């Protein structure tokens, strides 16, 4: 990866590339990118965990909730998951659907990583029929639901910083010895300037922040493939008001390497996950631009409760603390604890071509 980056940077204007180009390379290069390599990324053997890897309850609950939505709205049972990782969420969802719901279902997985597509296939086939594609552009437009968990936080971002009243873009360079470094240049990228004007984001002196230009294209692609239905996004991020909080003054760009958070994302290129908190206000704004109307935005634990997770606790009790039922109940509680993973996530629901009210999607 270092050799490839060195050539990429040396052939770039002024010997510098944007953070977006750096992140795109180290995460998504077809052979050298972190997500593309044949190595574990999620779980104990990987570098990070996701909600769906804590317990199968997440996939199980979403299957029941989607079935409820289909009955309530007459939506066709077509469920599209973007970025399915190991396939554990899909497996839990499909087990529940075929085990208790038993109606026809078209499940689509959009996954750019060959490694993860192979993992998903090994886990799901031949038990379940799943359509696997590399990109949204390969799907025929449909009516149904599009779901993603930690999708937008993994998209490449530019980085800017305000210095002496001027907006600078933080670029990435490399020394002759192969050492990566940052260099600030006067902002000339018109797309970033347009983002700042559209988003109404106020950048304070010495504030550093990520600019997610790739977000709009992803939203546009989602809207293009969805004729009508719901878009459900689970992720962590901040509103414009929260970005203005002094504690976020240094931005949110982070790496995860062997379950350790790394502040310097120029370390371990191609060997480390890179993530950033998303811009919720911009996601909502761009959704509206592409005919995705905001229905609701909730903290993940609040969403899970409204989707019926407490009924799972009520319906399943076992006094044996070592039983599978007890383990499952502990997993449910961990998703609802104020100190648990759900406290950091929000679930946003957008609708297209429907006339639903917020309460219409709660069980």
pLDDT of residue 46: 63
Query: 176-195 pLDDT, tens per residue?
Result: 999 999 999 999 999 999 99
Q: Other CB atoms closer than 10 Å to residue 51's CB: what's the count?
A: 21
- The span from the CA of 236 to the CA of 186, in Å, is 30
- The H or E element spanning position 318 is none
- What's the whole-number mean pLDDT along residues 60-82? 96
Its pTM stands at: 0.92
Q: What percent of the chain has pLDDT over 90?
A: 78
pLDDT of residue 322: 64
Sign of CA dihedral 26, 23, 273, 219: negative
pLDDT of residue 320: 67
pLDDT of residue 356: 93
pLDDT of residue 53: 66
- The H or E element spanning position 86 is none
Higher pLDDT, 103 or 174: 174
Contact residues for 163 (Cβ-Cβ < 8 A; gap 6+) = 184, 205, 206
Least confident of 18-32, 192-206, 271-285, 309-323: 309-323
Query: 275-324 pLDDT, tens per residue?
Result: 999 999 999 999 999 999 999 999 999 999 999 888 877 656 666 666 77
CA 62 to chain centroid? 16
CA 163 to chain centroid? 31
Checking if the pLDDT of 353 tops 80, the result is yes
Mean pLDDT of all residues in the chain? 91
pLDDT of residue 114: 92
Q: Which domains does the chain have, with CATH numbers?
A: 1-32+158-211+245-276 (no CATH), 50-155+213-236+277-361 (3.40.50.12710)
pLDDT of residue 41: 65
Confirm if 59 and 91 have CB atoms less than 8 A apart.
yes
Contact residues for 14 (Cβ-Cβ < 8 A; gap 6+) = 185
pLDDT of residue 280: 97
Q: Are strands 78-82 and 106-110 parallel, antiparallel or unpaired?
A: parallel
């Amino acid at each position: 990866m270092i050799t490839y980056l060195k050539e990429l940077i040396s052939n770039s204007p002024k010997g510098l590339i944007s953070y977006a180009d750096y992140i795109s390379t180290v995460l998504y290069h077809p052979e050298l990118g972190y997500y593309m390599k044949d190595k574990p990324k999620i779980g104990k053997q990987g570098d990070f965990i996701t909600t769906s890897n804590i317990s199968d309850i997440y996939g199980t609950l979403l299957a029941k909730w989607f079935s409820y939505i289909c009955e309530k709205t007459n939506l066709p049972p077509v469920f599209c998951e973007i970025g399915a990782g190991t396939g554990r969420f899909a497996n839990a969802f499909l087990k529940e659907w075929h085990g208790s719901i038993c109606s026809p279902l078209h499940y689509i997985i959009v996954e750019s990583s060959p490694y993860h597509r192979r993992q998903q296939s090994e886990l799901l086939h031949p038990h379940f029929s799943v359509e696997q594609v590399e990109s949204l552009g390969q799907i025929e437009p449909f009516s149904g639901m599009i779901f993603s968990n930690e999708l937008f936080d993994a998209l490449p971002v530019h980085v800017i910083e305000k210095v002496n009243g001027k907006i600078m873009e933080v670029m990435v360079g490399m020394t002759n010895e192969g050492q990566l470094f940052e260099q600030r240049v006067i902002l000339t990228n018109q797309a970033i300037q347009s983002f700042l004007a559209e988003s109404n984001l106020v950048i304070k002196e010495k504030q550093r922040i990520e600019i997610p230009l790739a977000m709009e294209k992803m939203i546009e692609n989602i809207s293009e493939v969805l004729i009508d239905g719901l878009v459900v996004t689970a992720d962590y991020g901040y509103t414009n008001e929260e970005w203005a909080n002094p504690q976020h003054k240094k931005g949110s760009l982070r790496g995860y390497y062997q379950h350790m958070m790394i502040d310097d994302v120029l370390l371990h290129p191609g060997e480390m996950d890179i993530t950033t908190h998303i811009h919720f206000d911009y996601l909502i704004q761009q959704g509206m631009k592409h005919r995705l109307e905001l229905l609701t935005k909730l903290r993940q634990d609040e969403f899970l409760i409204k989707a019926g997770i407490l009924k799972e606790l009520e319906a399943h009790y076992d006094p044996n603390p070592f039983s599978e039922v007890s383990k499952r109940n502990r997993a449910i509680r961990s998703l609802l604890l104020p100190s648990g993973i759900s406290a950091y996530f929000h679930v946003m629901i957008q609708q297209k071509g429907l006339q639903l009210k917020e309460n219409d999607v709660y069980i």
